[in-house]
Amino acid sequence: MPADKEDVSVNASPIEILVKPEVSGVKNEQLIQTRRAQICDAALELFLEKGIASTTIRDICARSGVNQASIYDYIENKNDILRRLLNQLWFRPDVPTLPERLEAFGDADFEDILTSYFRDTWRIKRKGTLLAYRSIPHLQSDDRKAMRAHDTRLITLLARHLRERTGLPADDKRPEIVANLIIFLTAFGPMRDWVQRDIDEELMAGTIAAGVTAMLEHLKAQGEPPST
């Protein structure tokens, strides 16, 4: 299957690493889901407009239409809303990670896989990316640890694929450096779109993918790192 196939759900696995508290003030499950969706949609808009610290529960109630007296029947607090949004938008299962794509399309051109990955994550996970980076100072300690553990695991898996492609030895740390850079570049489109809105998305994704591919080709040709 070509790497730029529109179906991006291949090998995607649901990841919900931020623990959500049980809130059971209402027994009607359909009503719970409807109200939580209203609350989370309103909170996301406000978090991205005003910032997380500046957004109050009162603001969220006013934007969502959910009464302030009943909102705690559906969520525990603002941190609970943030967790639910990150699970929904940042850890969303319909956008495979780069290691998952490399596993599924290993024989495809690496640059094509990268281009598809950047395009899909920038386009589909844009709000999740913006929220994730803005939320770090506001996360609870356990949530911050879980986010770090998730990224560490992702970098480790990606570095393993890069090491296989370059033939670099296990004690060479350069694949981890490049893997970390790729994860950082995943946020490049959404975080910098305020200065590059006039640049074609496909051109930008292809250019960055070409740069990363050239970097790996250089490491592969260089072989063992020069001694220091």
Q: What is the mean pLDDT of the chain?
A: 86
Predicted local confidence at residue 224, as pLDDT: 74
pLDDT at 3 over 60: no
State residue 223's pLDDT score.
82
Residue 118 and residue 60 share a domain: no
Q: What is the average per-residue pLDDT within 143-149?
A: 90
Band (1; pLDDT cuts 50, 70, 90): very low
Tell me if 98 sits within 8 A of 153, measured CB to CB.
no
User: How much of the chain, in percent, has pLDDT values that exceed 90?
Assistant: 62
Integer Cα distance of 68 and 65 in angstroms:
9
3-class SS of residue 225: coil
Residues with Cβ within 8 Å of 204's Cβ and at least 6 positions away in sequence, in order, are: 118, 189, 196
Based on the fold, state whether residues 128 and 192 are members of the same structural domain.
Answer: yes
More confident of the two residues 188 and 163: 163
**What mean pLDDT do residues 195-223 have?**
90
Number of structural domains found in the chain: 2
Q: Decide if pLDDT at 13 tops 80.
A: no
pLDDT of residue 30 exceeding 80 = yes
Alpha-carbon span 178 to 168, nearest angstrom = 12
Instruction: Tell me, yes or no, whether 211 and 177 share the same domain.
Output: yes
The pTM of this model reads 0.80
Q: Are residues 133 and 66 in the same domain?
A: no
For residue 17, the model assigns a pLDDT of 61
- At residue 46, the pLDDT reads 97
pLDDT beyond 90 at 194: no
105 and 45 co-located in one domain? no
What pLDDT score does 10 carry?
A: 38
Residues spanned by the domain of 173:
98-222
- State residue 8's pLDDT score: 38
Q: What is the CATH number of the domain that holds 43?
A: 1.10.10
Q: Given this model, what pLDDT does residue 57 score?
A: 97
Instruction: Assess if residue 71 is contained within a domain.
Output: yes
Per mean pLDDT, which range of 16-25, 141-150, 199-208 is the poorest?
16-25
Mean pLDDT calculated for residue range 63-80: 93
Q: Identify the sign of the CA torsion 104, 101, 171, 166.
A: positive
Q: H/E/C letters for each residue in 43-55? A: HHHHHHHHCCCCC
CA-based nearest residue to 201, from 95, 100, 121, 128: 121
For residue 61, being part of any structural domain is answered with: yes
pLDDT reading at 11 higher than 50: no
Split at pLDDT 50, 70, 90, the class of 188 is confident
Q: For the chain, state the CA radius of gyration.
A: 20
**Closest by Cα among 80, 220, 17, 52 to 136:** 52
> Do 67 and 108 have their domain in common?
no
Q: Average pLDDT for residues 77-89, to the nearest whole number?
A: 93
The reply to whether 183 falls in a domain is yes
Check: CB of residue 213 under 8 Å from CB of residue 108: no
